[in-house]
Homo-oligomer: A and B are copies of this chain.
Amino acid sequence: MSNATARAYPNIALVKYWGKRDETLMLPAAGSLSLTLDAFATTTTVELLDGASEDVFSLNGVAQSGDSLARVTKFLSLVRELAGSAQHAAVTSINEAPTGAGLASSASGFAALAVAAAAAYGLDLDRAALSRLARRGSGSAARSLVDGISVWHAGDGDETSFAEPVTAPEMSMIIVTVDARQKAISSRTAMRRTALTSPFYPAWVESTEQTLAAMLEACRDQDFSRIGRITEMHALRMHALIQSADPPIRYLLPTSVAIFDAVVALREAGIEAYSTADAGPNVAVISRPEDAQAVADALEQYGTVRIVGAGAGATLIPNPIDPSLEATA
């Protein structure tokens, strides 16, 4: 195959990932757990080029250069190494989420790229191997290979650090976008500063493994309330960690805090909902599916609200560019 298209969705962590043990292999300092969404897809086509001397990358119709292209080229080089190929590629990607606003577009982006590139370069990889490959592009992309709730094992090396499915009760996620602008400090930069300057960082790493064990237990017990409490606690703890860096980094805006407060008030009013937020100002709220509309109604005053559910892990789809290739996908 010299041409393949994949679609992947972002994921929102319920047990957060913050900090790397190994920046080259993209090994996380601790394990994490997330929900792959059924919205904000990234669709990516990788087409091998004959005789080209470099890769090209187009995102949402705009030809990329600089860091954005360099990250894709670096990833493709890894795929080429695995495939024993020297051929360059054209990567064409459509991302339906606002880039850089904390909706984990790099997760869906590298998950889709991993699946499409592996197919285009003829690699025969199972889900765990694709998850490991996606991880090399963006750590949390490892989790977007999995349907629904996924645990990403910290592992003890490249071979053991991948995501796999976890059985958990069905839930909805209400995403409140309060600011779709690009965030001021990238997760990558902020993770580095946190690890270097926060006195809390070692305890964060150690305690996150304990939090993950508690969360896996709550999932096994189908205990939504406990899943929710752990989710909100761990999100606030991650933002606390980030805020403890020197100089401090604050991702939550006043409106973000107002949403956390509103969700506490919802619980006091008998609607069980719990907040989380990635490294940005947007807030994602989980609830039982039957409560999702009530939560959305209560939060629409704070931003653009969208109810999402559990989505599919990254997978090949018929190539939209050239219908004649659909059969090979």
Q: Which residues of A contact B (CB under 8 A)?
A: 199-200, 202-204, 206-207, 229, 232-233, 236-237, 239-241, 243-244, 246-248, 250, 252-255, 257-258, 260-261
Contacts and interface: CB of A to CB of B under 8 A. Distances in A.
A257 B253 contact: yes
Contacts of A243: 236-237, 239-240, 243
A204 B247 CA distance: 16
B254 A257 contact: yes
Interface pairs A-B: 10 shortest CB-CB? A199-B207, A240-B240, A254-B254, A200-B200, A199-B203, A254-B258, A240-B243, A240-B244, A236-B248, A254-B257
Contacts of A200: 199-200, 203-204, 240-241, 244
Contacts of A229: 247
A257 B248 contact: no
Contacts of A258: 254
Contacts of A246: 233
14 contacts: A199-B200, A199-B207, A200-B200, A233-B246, A233-B247, A233-B248, A236-B250, A237-B243, A237-B244, A240-B240, A240-B244, A253-B261, A254-B254, A254-B255
Nearest to A210: B199
Nearest to A206: B199
Contacts of A233: 246-248
A244 B241 CA distance: 8
A53 to B, nearest CB: 44
Contacts of A199: 200, 203-204, 206-207
Contacts of A248: 232-233, 236-237
Nearest to A200: B200
Nearest to A259: B254
Contacts of A252: 257
A281 B260 CA distance: 15
A139 B250 CA distance: 30
A98 B160 CA distance: 57
A199 B205 CA distance: 10
Contacts of A244: 200, 236-237, 240-241
A207 B246 CA distance: 12
Given A236-B243, A243-B243, 4 more contacts: A232-B248, A233-B248, A236-B248, A254-B255
Interface centre among A246, A248, A250 (most CB of B within 10 A): A248
A261 B258 CA distance: 15
A200 to B, nearest CB: 4
Nearest to A207: B199
A261 B250 CA distance: 9
A114 to B, nearest CB: 33
